[in-house]
Amino acid sequence: MTNLKRILLPAFTLIGLSSSMTLPLADWPQADLSNGVIQTTLYLPDEQQGYYQGTRFDWSGAFKSLTYNGHTFVDQWFENYDPKMHDAINGPAEEFTPLGYTDAKPGDTFVKIGVGTLRKSTDKPYTFATYYEVADHGKWTVKRHKDRIDFTHELTDAGGYGYRYRKTVRLTKGKPELVLEHTLKNTGKLPIKTSVYDHNFFIIDKEPTGPGIEILFPYAVKAEGKGFGSVILPQGNRFVYARDLEKKENVYTAGVQGFGPTATDYDIRIENQKTGAGIHITSDQPMEKLVYWACATTSCPEPYIRLEAAPGKEVTWKIRYEFYEKAK
């Protein structure tokens, strides 16, 4: 915990001093939710004053904090903050792969669902870390309730793409459970073919990435990539760490192996072995692929879901997060 505090405390200092900030901390549009079991605060989409204004992640459902039974699950994991930084976002953050980027010429537009119509700047391949000029933010509608928030994003692009994207962040009545409910309707002329994944930027009780954190699956897993086999070790049905990660160090694999083609295998647990707190992540859809990335502050399984909708059609999907504490 001490190592993580050393990383995070300068971050909050930088936030307070950053010249890129448009508003004091208390003025970022946000909303509190509670079901009497979980308490969470979300930042709300706003093109001028929003906490997150990057062009990578879906603007709906940007989390500030989440607590359950005295445990914390969402904190700032990155050191430097800028509202337009691609990954300046916390907690479960979702990204859609772009629509129309490959066919667009420099200066033309393409679409990121949950962000808007963006302008292609060069003939280089799309990169999520690049900030792209926003040609059209689309229309956001937000309805706030005590235990849920309903987001709707509507966009019509001159290139032929159009959609109505609805996302509800809901706390299940009487349970330590968060549910992300999605509906994507194709209102344009072109078919929508994309993938969406959740980056899962969780930090459990401020525990740094290391032997105190384990990732568990209901099946044996294998993975190859940066740090795998040395810093992070696949052991049967789990990933364990051989040591704490150093500041600015990360591990990565583009494809965890072991899961099957059904929704029952979208089943991941992140556990703090010191405090016993954990998160159980499931979905009603199968995983297209499973990426894994971690740095010194957060461990992130990234499950992808494939989405396709012809004009006039819609697709729906849910992701569930059950928060728990293991018996001591």
The residue whose two tokens read 């928060």 is: 323
What are the CA-CA distances from residue 247 to residues 14, 22, 67, 276 (Å)?
Answer: 17, 28, 26, 25
| 3-state SS assignment for residue 145 | coil
Residue type, 18: S
Long-range contacts of 147-154 (CB under 8 A, 24+ apart): 147/33, 147/34, 147/35, 147/171, 147/173, 148/33, 149/31, 149/33, 149/42, 149/44, 149/61, 151/45, 151/60, 151/61, 153/45, 153/59, 153/60, 153/113, 153/114, 154/187
pLDDT band with cut points at 50, 70 and 90 for residue 327: confident
Tell me what pLDDT residue 62 has.
Answer: 94
For 232, phi then psi, to 5°, come to -115, 135
pLDDT at 219: 98
Quick: pLDDT tens for 141-162.
Answer: 999 999 999 999 999 999 999 9
Taking 70 as the threshold, does the pLDDT of residue 195 lie above it? yes
Q: Which helix (H) or strand (E) holds 95?
A: strand 94-96
User: For 5, what's the count of Cα atoms within 13 Å in the CB-facing half-sphere?
Assistant: 3
pLDDT digits (tens, 9 = 90+) for 8-30: 444 443 433 333 334 455 589 99
Rounded alpha-carbon distances, angstroms, from residue 53 to 4, 33, 183, 209? 26, 22, 22, 27
pLDDT at 4: 54
What is the average per-residue pLDDT within 48-65?
96
Average pLDDT over residues 243-259: 97
Check residue 47 and give its pLDDT: 95
In the structure encoding, which two tokens stand for residue 140, read together? 């956001």
Q: How many angstroms separate the CA atoms of 217 and 32, rounded?
A: 32
Q: How confident is the model at residue 177 (pLDDT cuts 50, 70, 90)?
A: very high
Instruction: State the pLDDT confidence band at 61, using cuts at 50, 70 and 90.
Output: confident
Separation of alpha carbons 171 and 320, rounded Å: 10
Q: Please, what is the average pLDDT of the chain?
A: 93
pLDDT at 21: 39
Query: In this structure, how many other beta carbons lie within 10 angstroms of the beta carbon of residue 328?
Result: 5
Q: How far apart are CA 166 and CA 58, in angstroms?
A: 11
Q: With bands split at pLDDT 50, 70 and 90, how would you rate the model's confidence at 186?
A: very high
Per-residue pLDDT tens over the stretch 95-146: 999 999 999 999 999 999 999 999 999 999 999 999 999 999 999 999 999 9
Q: What are the strands of the beta sheet with 116-119, ordered from one edge?
A: 109-112, 116-119, 134-136
Q: What are phi and psi of 61, to 5 degrees?
A: 80, 40
User: Among positive and negative, which fits the CA dihedral 36, 41, 47, 48?
Assistant: positive
At 14, which helix (H) or strand (E)? helix 2-17
Rounded CA separation 163/188 (Å): 6
